[in-house]
A and B are shown apart, each in its own frame.
Chain A
Amino acid sequence: MGKIMAVHSYKGGTGKTLLSINLAAALAKTGKKVCLFDLDFRAPSLATLLKVKNPNCWLNDYLNGSCEIEKALVDISERIGNSGKLCVALANPNTEAIREMSSKDRKWEMRALGRLLALRNLISNTGNFDYLVFDTSPGLQYSSINAIVAADLVVVATTFDRSDMEGTQRMLRELYDLFEKKTYLVLNKVLENPTRHKSDLQATVKDFYQVPLLGVVPCYCDILKAEGSTIFAQDKPDHPFTRMLNALAAEIEKNIA
C-alpha cells in the first residue's frame, strides 16, 4: 500500500513546487513508482516547468467529473532515465480555466474532495503507484485543504520569513492537527551562516514548531539560474541540492515505512 503526500505552505514562494518536482524525481530514481499532481489551480506551473503540452485530460477535467484519472496522467519516466516510474497530472494553465476553477461553489468542492479521496485507488494493491505527490496552493485555499485531507502526510515548506513562520505555526495547530495529519517540516532557502551550528538550528526549529524537521535546504543560486525548469535529480545528480533531496526522500521513506 503506497502513500499520498501533500506539499503545502502558509505563504507563497516557499519552494513547494521545486520540492514537489524534485522529491518525486528523487523517489522515482530509487525505483519507486511516483505520480506528481499539480493541485495549484490558481497558478498552475508544472505544465510549463516540465514542458508537457496538451495532455489528453487536465486534472481540472478529472475533478469536474468529465474524465477518468488515467487519461490525465502523462508518463515522463524518460526524464529521469527510466530508473523508476514518474508520471504527472497537470492543472490547466489557461486563464479561462483558472477563472473557472476559482468560482466553484462548496458543493463542487465537496465532490472534488470525493474525487481526490478516490485517487487512493492508484496506490492500492491493484494500483500502479507507490507515491502520489500533491503540489498545492499556499495558505487556506479550498483546493489545498482538500489535498491535505486526502493525503496521508503533509510536507510543509517553510522559510525564515517571520510572517511565514507565524502562519506555519498556526496552521500546524489549526489545520494539520485537526485533520490528524502527520506533518514534516522542510526549512527552505536557508542562507549559509558559518557562525550558526546545524544542530542549533534544528533545535530552534523543533522548539518553535513542535514537529519533526525533515531537512534544511540552503539557498542555491544554481536553482535560480536553472529558472525552475531543471529536474535536479536527473540533470545535476551530484549537486548538493540533489543530495539534500535524496536525503529527504530517504527520510520520508524511513518515517512512513
Chain B
Amino acid sequence: MASQEILSKKPLHVLEKIKENLEKLNEKMEVMIELQKHGKKDITPPLTDTPLDVMTLLSMPDHLRKTAMTVCRLGRATADEIAQQTHRARAVESAYLNQLVIMGYLKKERKGRKAYFYVERESQG
C-alpha cells in the first residue's frame, strides 16, 4: 500500500514539473511573439539602469506604457490583475510585462505558481 502511494506520487510530481516548465516556455514564446509584432526597436536594453519614472513612461510605446502605468499604480501585481485593469487579454499583458522585465524596468518574482511584477524602488524609507 505504502509503496503504491510513493509510486503514484512520483508520476504526479513529474507531471507537475513538466507543466511548470511548459508554462515557463509558454511565457517565453509569448514574449517572442510580441517582440516580432512590434519589431525590435521597442526593446532597447536598459540604459545604465534607467528607472521607471514619468519621463521613461512618457517615452514608451503606448501599449507598454499602459501596462507599466498599471503596475506603478498597483505596486505589485500578477498578469491577471493587470489584465483586469487594462481590459486586455492575460496572455498579452503577460507578454508586455515580461518585455518590461527584459528592458529592466520591472522586477519579477515567483511565488508558488504565481509570478508577481513590481517596480523596484530600492532604499525606500
Task: List the A side residues contacting B92 at CB < 8 Å.
Answer: none
Task: List the B side residues contacting A179 at CB < 8 Å.
Answer: 57, 65, 69
Known contacts A65-B125, A117-B72, A179-B69, A149 near B51 by CB under 8 Å: no
- 9-residue interface stretch from A84-92, A107-115, A126-134, A242-250: A107-115
- Does any Cβ of B come within 8 Å of A73's Cβ? no
Shortest beta-carbon distance from A137 to chain B in Å: 14
* Interface residues as binary, B41-73 with A (CB distance below 8 Å gives 1, 0 otherwise): 000000000111111011000100110010011
A146, B121: Cβ atoms closer than 8 Å: no
B124, A65: Cβ atoms closer than 8 Å: yes
Task: List the B side residues contacting A66 at CB < 8 Å.
Answer: 125
Task: List the B side residues contacting A175 at CB < 8 Å.
Answer: 58
A44 to B65, alpha carbons, bound, how many Å?
31
A157 to B54, alpha carbons, bound, how many Å?
22
- Does any Cβ of A come within 8 Å of B97's Cβ? no
B124, A146: Cβ atoms closer than 8 Å: no
- Does any Cβ of A come within 8 Å of B100's Cβ? no
Q: How many residues of B contact A (CB 8 A)?
A: 19
- Does any Cβ of A come within 8 Å of B119's Cβ? yes
A110 to B75, alpha carbons, bound, how many Å?
12
Shortest beta-carbon distance from B42 to chain A in Å: 16
Which residue on B lies nearest to A144, using beta carbons? B54
Interface residues on A, range: 10 to 19
B124, A149: Cβ atoms closer than 8 Å: no
Shortest beta-carbon distance from B119 to chain A in Å: 7
* Interface residues as binary, A136-163 with B (CB distance below 8 Å gives 1, 0 otherwise): 0000001001100100000000000000
Task: List the B side residues contacting A178 at CB < 8 Å.
Answer: 58, 62, 65
**Option from A65, A109, A117 in Cβ contact (under 8 Å) with B53:** A109
Q: Which of A10-36 contact B (CB under 8 A)?
A: none
A178 to B58, alpha carbons, bound, how many Å?
7
Shortest beta-carbon distance from A163 to chain B in Å: 22
A65 to B122, alpha carbons, bound, how many Å?
12
Shortest beta-carbon distance from A73 to chain B in Å: 19
Task: List the A side residues contacting B73 at CB < 8 Å.
Answer: 117
Shortest beta-carbon distance from A141 to chain B in Å: 10
A149, B125: Cβ atoms closer than 8 Å: no
* Interface residues as binary, B82-125 with A (CB distance below 8 Å gives 1, 0 otherwise): 00000000000000000000000000000000000001010011
Q: Which of A163-189 contact B (CB under 8 A)?
A: 175, 178-180
Known contacts A149-B72, A178-B62, A179-B69, A109 near B125 by CB under 8 Å: no
- Does any Cβ of B come within 8 Å of A106's Cβ? yes
Shortest beta-carbon distance from A202 to chain B in Å: 31
A146, B65: Cβ atoms closer than 8 Å: no
Task: List the A side residues contacting B53 at CB < 8 Å.
Answer: 106-107, 109-110, 113, 142
Task: List the A side residues contacting B66 at CB < 8 Å.
Answer: 180
A114 to B118, alpha carbons, bound, how many Å?
12
Shortest beta-carbon distance from A187 to chain B in Å: 26
B54, A149: Cβ atoms closer than 8 Å: yes
Listed from nearest, the 6 A-B pairs whose CB atoms lie closest are A65-B125, A110-B53, A145-B54, A110-B51, A111-B121, A106-B53
A/B interface sample: 21 pairs, CB < 8 A: A65-B124, A65-B125, A106-B51, A106-B53, A106-B55, A107-B51, A109-B51, A110-B52, A110-B53, A111-B124, A113-B53, A114-B75, A114-B124, A145-B54, A145-B55, A145-B58, A146-B54, A149-B72, A178-B62, A178-B65, A179-B57
